[in-house]
């Protein structure tokens, strides 16, 4: 039986950071479960964030009007992507579990991690028009955002000054991970560790270790499956009329993004539904 593989994509500059401690805990716990763990330390690797024509080996299809998506899809098909991209794609192919470990920067990921998404998740390799969302390429893989914030949890409440964390997470978890088909596990959020006492940070670390022990048994977050939409240009890739009609009687929207003008489903992007409540 093949050994399980996990990939940790790590985006923090300092080996003395709390993020580094979280990474090390994940490596230790998953290795203890029999995983072969690979870490992509993006800063240490000097991973290039910019998506440019340097990502393509050989001639461009249209050098007069460079279109990154088209050119990298063609290069992937022909085995002409740059070595650093190919190496990360190989790690991703081999892993059943992918953890992204990072500090939240400007309500998103650090630039080097955004560059990893931009450059590694090329069209053809990570998605196609026929393979997106619930029909996505990586539907047999689990992915998880594990991140620290510079603000307490209260600031990311629906009535907090930073707004609902579910809205913050929607572009990352739905627009990147779910789009590529990943089973998205509930995020692991470490609220404002830099301003917490050492004892609280220690509790956070132990809580992360405990969760890692049963991570693969967790139920993923739910997203609206492709079957609910008219997947045609004529239909505009919009919710089917009968689905919208069914949703009229519901107290909440379908998801954070498909809210249909209603209140957002509570915890839509932060916790998996209970056994009896599958949001679809």
| pLDDT per residue as tens digits for the range 230-278 | 988 888 899 999 999 999 999 999 999 999 999 999 999 999 876 444 4
Best CA proximity match to 220, nearest among 151, 143, 110, 118: 143
Measured CA to CA in angstroms, residue 244 lies from 120, 239, 263, 272 at distances of 35, 7, 15, 23
**Where does the pLDDT of residue 1 fall: very low under 50, low under 70, confident under 90, or very high at 90 and above?**
low
Contact assessment for residue 177 and residue 120, using Cβ atoms and an 8 Å cutoff: no
For residue 280, pLDDT over 50 is answered with no
Contact assessment for residue 238 and residue 230, using Cβ atoms and an 8 Å cutoff: yes
Q: What sections of the chain are H helices per DSSP? A: 18-32, 68-77, 83-94, 111-120, 165-172, 198-212, 241-247
**Which residues lie across from 190 on neighbouring strands?**
148
47-56, 195-204, 242-251, 267-276: which range is least confident on average? 267-276
Residue 24: per-residue pLDDT: 98
Of residues 80 and 1, more confidence is placed in 80
Q: Could you report how far apart the first and last alpha carbons of the chain are, in Å? A: 35
Q: Determine the average pLDDT of the residues in 177-186.
A: 97
Number of CB atoms found within 10 A of residue 152's CB: 14
Residue 279: per-residue pLDDT: 41
Q: What CATH topology corresponds to 5-221?
A: Rossmann fold (3.40.50)
Residue 275: per-residue pLDDT: 45
Give me the residue spans of the domains in the chain.
5-221, 222-280
Percent of the chain whose pLDDT exceeds 70 = 97
Q: Determine the average pLDDT of the residues in 198-216.
A: 95
Q: How far apart are CA 71 and CA 53, in angstroms?
A: 8
| pLDDT per residue as tens digits for the range 129-156 | 899 999 999 999 999 999 999 999 999 9
Query: Which residues, 6+ apart, have CB-to-CB distance to 190 below 8 Å?
Result: 18, 22, 146, 147, 148, 149, 204, 208
């Amino acid at each position: 039986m093949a050994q399980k593989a996990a990939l940790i994509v790590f985006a923090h500059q300092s080996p003395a950071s709390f993020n580094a401690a979280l990474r090390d805990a994940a490596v230790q716990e998953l290795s203890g479960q029999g995983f072969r763990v690979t870490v992509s330390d993006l800063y240490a690797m000097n991973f290039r964030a910019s998506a440019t024509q340097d990502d393509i080996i050989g001639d461009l299809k249209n050098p007069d009007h460079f279109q990154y998506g088209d050119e990298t899809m063609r290069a992937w098909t022909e085995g002409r992507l740059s070595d650093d991209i190919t190496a990360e794609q190989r790690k991703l192919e081999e892993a059943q579990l992918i953890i992204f470990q990072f500090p939240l920067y400007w309500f998103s990921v650090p630039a080097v991690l955004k560059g990893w998404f931009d450059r590694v998740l090329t069209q053809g390799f990570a998605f196609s028009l026929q393979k997106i969302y619930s029909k996505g390429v990586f539907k047999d893989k689990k992915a998880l955002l594990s991140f620290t914030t510079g603000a307490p949890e209260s600031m990311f409440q629906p009535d907090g000054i930073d707004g609902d964390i579910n809205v913050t997470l929607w572009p990352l978890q739905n627009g990147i991970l779910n789009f590529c088909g990943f089973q998205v596990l509930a995020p692991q959020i470490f609220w404002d560790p830099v301003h917490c006492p050492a004892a609280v940070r220690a509790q956070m670390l132990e809580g992360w270790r405990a969760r890692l022990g049963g991570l693969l048994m967790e139920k993923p977050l739910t997203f609206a499956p492709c079957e609910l939409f008219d997947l045609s240009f004529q239909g505009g890739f919009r919710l089917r009329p009968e689905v919208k009609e069914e949703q009229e009687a519901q107290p909440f929207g379908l998801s954070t993004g498909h809210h249909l003008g209603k209140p957002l489903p509570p915890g839509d992007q932060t916790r998996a539904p209970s056994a009896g409540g599958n949001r679809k």
